[in-house]
Amino acid sequence: MNLRNHLRFAVIGCGRMGLRRMQSLVDNPRAELLWAVDVKDSARRTAAARHGCDTAARPDEAINDPAVDGVVVSVPNKWHRDIVLSALRRKKHVFCEKPLGRDTAEARAMLAAAERSRVTLKVGSNLRYFPNVLKAKRLYDAGAVGRPLFLRSWIGHNGWTQDGWYAVPRLSGGGPLLDNGAHLFDLLRWFLGEPVDAFGAAQPLPDGRSRVEDNAMAVFHMKNGALASVHASWTQWAGYMRLELGGTRGALRIENSGPRCETVLVARSGKEKVFDFSSQSPNSYQAEMDDYLARLLRKEQPRASGWDGLRAVQMARAVYRSALTGRRVRIEAPPR
């Protein structure tokens, strides 16, 4: 696609996340919001009132607009695949909210379509743009903790996601493990590389006949020899995220509970060095969009890519299978 020095977008879905993505687009001088699409008339009117864009009830009206360079997909998980495939067939770049799909078949179909169309597919992963996560990654890459031995993490909301489409298996594909757990799967791979297998448990079991789980826990064996644990919850009454990474030289702690936004570097002696970002205004969504747009204009692959989105779905589905069988489940190895 012949990209100019600015990019024009349609946002499909005008709910909480869709409005957030719209704002991050209009706040970037190299982006333009052309369309806001939603089946609900009130949601479309809200978007149009805020941003003065065109509106539509059906995605294809915006996707078929030749002026549109990219599409942001922010709808319930059930409709990710169809909308993403429609946009990719028309050679539009796609930014899809996580999880990429309800299962690996959906995620694979989207990734394959992006490769055929030779456009980019990005998955929402704003945790990569938290200032304390970025600081921890720089310290880790510089060898601050030495060889990694373990990673343990939790992420959780305070219960508001237990209602609505999130709790309906056919719409969501899973509970907090697939929802906010996808963030941790992405960070886990960003720090440690690829997983080998998973062992997990969920409460209740996600058998597809009842509501999705409230809590899920998983342990991964990583290719580099490290162990990694993830707990995803909708009853973590004081959210939102914590991640600890221990190595042969020390440890890193990423703290995002309540108002705290810190990176803590722990030496083997136990001495701690704290990098405190708590006073900064949250801007991870804007930072993610700004980086995405810059990469598109440089004709680079986005961070996190469709491939990263597929791997997160594969990890979640492996945990669900383990929860149902009581056995460790091997995660398909990536291609060479």
**Pick from 2, 66, 61: which is nearest to 35 by CA?**
61
Does 159 reside within a domain? yes
318 and 175 in a common domain:
yes
How confident is the model over 158-203, as pLDDT tens digits? 765 556 888 888 999 999 999 999 999 999 999 999 999 999 999 8
Boundary of a domain, candidates 93, 126, 159: 126
Does 88 reside within a domain? yes
Does 295 reside within a domain? no
Burial of 57 (0-12, 13-18, 19+ CB in 10 A): exposed
Helix, coil or strand: residue 213: coil
- The enclosing H or E element of 11 equals strand 7-12
Number of domains in the chain: 2
97 and 64 in a common domain:
yes
Does 14 reside within a domain? yes
Cα torsion through 208, 212, 216, 219, rounded to 10: 30
Partners of 159 in the beta sheet? Answer: none
pLDDT of residue 219: 98
117 and 27 in a common domain:
yes
Low-confidence ranges of the chain (pLDDT < 50): 1-2
Does 303 reside within a domain? no
Does 87 reside within a domain? yes
pLDDT of residue 1: 41
pLDDT of residue 238: 77
Q: What CATH number corresponds to the domain at position 106?
A: 3.40.50.720
DSSP assignment of 270-315, as one string?
A: S-EEEEE-TTSPP-HHHHHHHHHHHHHHTT---SSBHHHHHHHHHH
Boundary of a domain, candidates 126, 152, 173: 126
Domain of residue 34, residue span = 7-126
